[in-house]
Copies of this chain bind each other. A is one copy, B any other.
Amino acid sequence: MDAHPTDVSAAARLAGPDEAISQEELALAARNHGLPLEALRYEITPPGLHYVLTHYDIPAADAGTWRLEVRGRVRRALTLDMAALRSFPAVTRRVTIECAGNGRALLSPRPVSQPWLVEAVGTAEWTGVPLRTLLDEAGAEPDAVEAVFTGADHGVERGVEQDYQRSLPLAVATGADPQVLVAYAMNGDPLPPQHGFPLRLVVPGWYGMAQVKWLREISLTDEPFTGFQQAVAYRLRQDAEEAGTPVTRIEPRALLIPPGFPDFMSRTRVVRPGPVRLEGRAWSGRPPVTRVEVSTDGGGSWTEADLAPPDSQRWAWQHWHSAWTATPGPHVLSARATDAGGHTQPLGQPWNRGGFANNLIQRVGVLCCEADA
C-alpha cells in the first residue's frame, strides 16, 4: 500500500479527562517558546524573549534572492526584491502580537496542540512598507475581495499538505487604522529567522495566525479564501461539525510580572511581608485598554490599577501598576483588563475546541514569608 503524508498526520482532538501533556505537545513546547513573564518589564521585547510559534520548519532564506510576488486580481502584477521593498517609504509601528492559542493548556478539556499557558505574547517595533502602498502600486481589480498571503513554510497539518496561507478581507488589507505592514525589520534589525526573515506580514490588533511569516506571495482573489488555516483551523467552534466563526482580533488580556522570586520547579513566588509593587502590561485588539483591575485573593475582590494612557502607539500593550501590602501566607494574584469596547476577561474559561482567543484570567501563586534568619 502506498504511503501518504496523511499517514503521519492525525485529526484534531481533545485530551481525555486524566490525560497529561503528551510527548508530541512537549516537542512543540520545546521548539516554540513564550515570553518569560519577568520580561514583561521591557516595553519592547528584546530578541529571543518575544513568543515564537512556527507551524512547520523555519525556512532557509536568502535576502539576496528573495522575491515577493503581488498577483491575482490586480492590474499590474509585481515582483519585488528586498531593495525594491526598501525603496518605498518605510513606516515603523510598535505592535503587541499574541498567539491565538495562548492559554490553551489551561483549558479543560484541553485541545491537543501547542500547549501554551499564558505567555505567548510579545511587543516589537516593526518596520516595513504599508500593504496598501503595494496594493495601490499593483491596482486592485474592482472584483477583488480578499488578499491571500503565502509563506515559504511548508508542512502537513491534520492530513493536509500545504504552504502556510491566510487571507484578509481587502478592506482590512488596505485599511488606514490599523495599517497592515509588509515588514522587513524588527526592533531596527533585519527580521530574525524565527520571526519571518526576510519578510513578514504585521496586522496590528490581530492574533498571530494572521501575521504570515516568510512572506513570498500576495494574491488578490474574487472570492473568499477557503484554505486550511482559514476555513479549517483558527475557527471558534463548540462542536467539530460546526463551520464556526473565524478568529480575528485579540481579546483583552492583562498579565502581571510575578513578584518576588521563584521556586525553580513549581514557579511559585516568594515575597517578603510589606509593600510589594504589582505591575504588568495589558492589551486588546480593540484598543485602548481602559481599565485594569488587580486581585490578591484569587478573584474574590478587585482593585483598580494605575493604567498608562494609550499613547500614539495604540497597537502596543499599556503598562499598569498597583500597590499591595503582602501579609504572611499564601496568596493568588490576578489582573483583569477591559477595553474601550467593554470587552473584559472572564473568571470562567472561554472554551472552544481549538482553545483559541482564550483570555482566562492569569493566576500567580505567591507565598509571603519572612526571610530565614
- A residues apposed to B, CB below 8 Å: 2-5, 7-10, 19-34, 36-39, 41-42, 46-50, 52, 54-58, 60, 105, 112-113, 115-117, 119, 154-158, 161, 192-195, 258, 261-270, 328-330, 365, 367-370, 372
Residues of B within 8 A of A269 (CB): 8
Provide 13 A-B residue pairs closer than 8 Å at the C-beta atoms, listed in order of the A residue. Answer: A4-B372, A5-B263, A9-B264, A9-B266, A19-B20, A27-B117, A29-B30, A31-B33, A39-B193, A48-B50, A49-B193, A156-B261, A158-B264
- Once A8-B367, A270-B8 are accepted as A-B contacts, the answer to whether A264 and B29 lie under 8 Å apart by CB is no
A261 vs B154: C-alpha distance when bound (angstroms): 7
Residues of B within 8 A of A154 (CB): 261
A55 vs B158: C-alpha distance when bound (angstroms): 36
- Once A161-B372, A192-B48, A328-B2 are accepted as A-B contacts, the answer to whether A30 and B20 lie under 8 Å apart by CB is no
How many copies of this kind of chain does the complex include?
A: 2
CB-CB nearest in chain B for A159: B263
A369 vs B9: C-alpha distance when bound (angstroms): 14
Residues of B within 8 A of A267 (CB): 24, 27-28, 31
- Once A5-B367, A24-B265 are accepted as A-B contacts, the answer to whether A34 and B30 lie under 8 Å apart by CB is yes
Choice from B57, B263, B372 contacting A261 with Cβ under 8 Å? B57
A116 vs B370: C-alpha distance when bound (angstroms): 34
Question: Is B52 touching A263 in the complex (CB atoms < 8 A)?
Answer: no
Question: Is A270 touching B156 in the complex (CB atoms < 8 A)?
Answer: yes
Residues of B within 8 A of A34 (CB): 30-31
For the complex of A and B, 8 pairs with smallest distance between CB atoms? A20-B20, A33-B33, A48-B48, A8-B268, A21-B21, A3-B369, A29-B29, A157-B264
A263 vs B24: C-alpha distance when bound (angstroms): 11
Question: Known contacts A31-B37, A158-B264; can you find 4 more A-B pairs with CB under 8 A?
Answer: A2-B328, A31-B267, A42-B193, A154-B261
CB-CB nearest in chain B for A10: B265
Question: Is B56 touching A261 in the complex (CB atoms < 8 A)?
Answer: yes
Residues of B within 8 A of A42 (CB): 193
